[in-house]
Structure 1
Amino acid sequence: MKLVFAGTPEVAVPALDALLAAERHEVAAVVTRPDAPAGRGRRLAASPVAERAEEEGIEILRPAHPRDPEFQERLREIAPDCCPVVAYGALLPRPALDIPAHGWVNLHFSLLPAWRGAAPVQHAVLAGDELTGASTFRIEEGLDSGPVFGVVTEEIRPTDTSGDLLTRLALAGAGLLVATMDGIEDGSLHAVPQPAEGVSHAPKISVTDARIDWTAPALRVDRVVRGCAPAPGAWTLFRGERLKLVHAAPAPEVGDLAPGEVRAGKKSVHVGTGSHAVELVWVQPQGKKPMRAADWARGVRVAPAERLDS
């Protein structure tokens, strides 16, 4: 089939690569978000998908919004059979949805109807799910509500961060997306409506959501640290400044610490929670690079019984 691929961030690149390598399909163009400020200099930079497409000499469409008439006209000229989508980042209006003969097919990183929305992987980790996956579905005007073509499953490991899990899902999902395109082309695959039961939503995680509540149980603190890694990053306050928690781990053997109370040893740093302690492994002080928590504690000279978020 002739395809126009829509995607923006790095997580979409494995799917684009898989489609480029598929002999049965031709990626005629990509649709991605416009260049955006990036890095410390805040210079305009192309999206990872745009960079990959440029390497392959593929036409790149960067509409300010997919409702733009010029974009829709160019899409009609290309006349794609289908438009596979991975993390494009903009809602598609009905006129655009109607252009490809087989519609727009999204690769979503959850087992739909669970975790519809912008942050399915983060919410799966935050909720303590043991199993997740990826789904391909035909895009409709509702939020991730269209009929499903196929799924792959992925175990959530006890130490997984959202970044770890998303990396694995991006690779497994790339294969699923190619298989979905194959099945649509030869007529062997038909989308099935999502069940009405089991719907959950995964809105974008805000910086406020990523703040640690030290009165919560250690299990919850661990999930917030892992679920918010690498972005937006779990955080707390120390002496009035933000301290990002890059890596932490439950430490059930350590007790007698009040919520938020810090105990710094030569090689370890523990903090009390609403249950047992957690060990801080890597932290990032405000304005500095990530460092080992023990090095941070020595540098700031944590006082006895001093607390985080106070």
Structure 2
Amino acid sequence: MSHWEKNKKYELEKQYSPSQWSHRMSADDVIKAHVAALKSGTEKARSLAQTLVDIPYGEGDEEKLDVYVPISSSPDVPLVIYIHGGYWQFLSKEESGFMAVPLAPKGVVVVAVGYSIAPKGNMDLMVSQVRRSVAATVQQYSHISGLYLCGHSAGAHLAAMVLSTDWSEYSVSPQIKGAFLVSGIYDLLPILSTYVNDPLKMTEEVAVRNSPSQLLHQLKASSSACDIVIAVAQNDSPEFRKQSEFYFRSLEAAGLNVTFEDVPNTDHFNIIEQFVDENYHLTQLLLKMMGKI
């Protein structure tokens, strides 16, 4: 590898290392704080909602959901499916219930999706799993008033892949009303040569077929009525910001209902952590979208 290639690889790896761009704390500390924040939010959610854990949506060990059901019932029950991040190789549904903290008291069901992270799971499997989890949720909760998706980082990528699903291959066609894609990656090609791909072992072919930016025609076919919010943190890396901006412009050009939220004073991690707060800008947007404000 030439000196120029080494420099280029180093720069690309830095761009795709979100913890190096936080202004709040060191790279190691921001990740530790992130896991702690998600865990404590999820513990709080379990005290505020009736929690059903490990509901299977498939045969695999990781193909399970945690469901946070509001204690008070109302006829208008929206449901939010949350897909966790962690670069397709960390985190789990166990610390992914935090959005229920502001949502359950408003009568919203929150579903946290488990999937087979790398190296056990590959990209094709993970995409298939999250699609099946959505189909299973819709079949299980047919009485809900509206279905919404939220994904963070790698989870935003997976949520975008859900929006780009050909549902004719499934026994159900979910009508997703809204989707929040937070600090996501929508083109997998740039990460092929980085450390992120070490456990994923994606080939170029796998990366292309699992890149939401390549599937706009399918998104238009299956999610044309969905309100899509692409959110990015002020202190996300330039490459992460570029990915979100490019995907937003592509969706806008395709005529989809999409808005872009550049969230000030946030980094890659607290942009999602703050969803535990009812007054947080993105939580308010989601509540408005669901008619809960």
Shared fold, TM over 0.5: no
Q: TM-score if structure 1 supplies the norm length?
A: 0.33
Structure number with the higher helix fraction is 2
Structure number with the higher strand fraction is 1
The structure number with the bigger radius of gyration is: 1
